[in-house]
Amino acid sequence: MTDGQNMAEQSIAMTGVELRLGTHDFRFDCDLPHGKIIAITGPSGSGKSTFLNLLAGFETPDRGRILLAGQDATGLHPSERPVSLVFQDNNLFSHLDLFTNVGLGISPSLKLTADDRKRISEALARVGLAGFERRKPGTLSGGERQRTAFARALVRDKPILLLDEPFAALDPGLRSGMAELLTTLHRETGNTVLIVSHDPSEVRRLADHAVFIDGGAIRLSAPIDRFLTQDNIPALTTFLQH
Ligand SMILES: Nc1ncnc2c1ncn2[C@@H]1O[C@H](COP(=O)(O)OP(=O)(O)OP(=O)(O)O)[C@@H](O)[C@H]1O
């Protein structure tokens, strides 16, 4: 297999995707590079979360096709898609301990093999939470809860990681620590990471490629150097000056 074929088989693409939510219309076309960290940026209310929700399968397009890791994912249930997710509020179950919360990433019914159990403890160790298996989310700091969400994404071992403002609730010190953890994990797994970010400095620090969404459509999708130096999209220039 040539590299070109391999890339095509792995790519994330939207073709003629259209969706109406209330009075808002979205139209997305894109072909994103494989194995990179891709920042999804844009003004508030522009459609960034909607874009991610379409990829995750929480929204179904009215028209068009979605390709994930080379597979037509348009009609697939979220659980069948080759993605794992981390959100701002980390979606941990407060009544379950960390081992169980991470285990849910492998099996929603918690049918775990001995190998699965080992992988859960390894993933917790990988994010700096060795020995935290029996702790409940309420006893953790915000950063530790977000690390647990990363561990849950890690055990799913999917080729695409979707992150919706995963560091927004953390203070600046924790944010840069988590950004470092993300780049380290990305280097180790080689997966494709899509991260929604409001923060231009985070985009500069993390991304290989960036997408600017405005008014429900993609205005620019470009390698980071070109993205940062463009001068013909005033709304993007304004975003980058923040
Ligand atoms: N289910 C829905 N019904 C009606 N309108 C919706 C629905 N979901 C989203 N919208 C609207 O679509 C627009 C885009 O929302 P979206 O959450 O994708 O924006 P965003 O770029 O992620 O915003 P933010 O940066 O503020 O999180 C918003 O105006 C939102 O109110």
pLDDT tens by residue, 6-32: 545 568 999 999 999 999 999 999 999
Strand ranges across the sheet with 24-32: 71-72, 63-68, 12-21, 24-32, 217-223, 209-214, 37-41, 192-196, 160-164, 83-87
Residues with CB under 6 A from ligand 1: 21-22, 24, 42, 44-50
- Based on its alpha-carbon atoms, the radius of gyration of the chain, rounded to whole angstroms, reads 18
CA of 215 to the centre of ligand 1 (A): 10
Residue 166 pLDDT: 85
Q: Which ligand 1 atom sits nearest the alpha carbon of residue 198?
A: 25
Q: Residue 2's pLDDT band (boundaries 50, 70, 90)?
A: very low
Condensed to tens digits (0 to 9), the pLDDT of residues 220-237 reads 999 999 999 998 999 999
Residue with tokens 């390894």: 122
Question: Distance between CA atoms of 89 and 152, rounded to whole angstroms?
Answer: 14
Please name the residue whose Cα sits nearest to atom 31 of ligand 1.
45
ipTM above 0.90, yes or no: yes
**C-beta of residue 83 within 8 angstroms of C-beta of residue 158:** yes
Condensed to tens digits (0 to 9), the pLDDT of residues 201-213 reads 889 999 999 999 9
CA of 220 to the centre of ligand 1 (A): 19
For residue 22, give Cα distances in angstroms to 39, 76, 228: 26, 23, 33
Please name the residue whose Cα sits nearest to atom 30 of ligand 1.
45
End-to-end CA distance of the chain: 44
- 223 by DSSP, 3-state: which? strand
CA of 46 to the centre of ligand 1 (A): 7
Q: Which two tokens stand for residue 191?
A: 């997966």
**C-beta of residue 120 within 8 angstroms of C-beta of residue 99:** yes
Task: Among 17, 19, 21, 239, say which to mutate for ligand 1: greatest number of ligand atoms within 8 Å of CB.
Answer: 21
CA of 28 to the centre of ligand 1 (A): 15
Condensed to tens digits (0 to 9), the pLDDT of residues 169-211 reads 778 877 888 888 889 889 988 999 999 998 898 899 999 999 9
CA of 223 to the centre of ligand 1 (A): 26
* Residue 48 DSSP label: H
**C-beta of residue 194 within 8 angstroms of C-beta of residue 223:** no
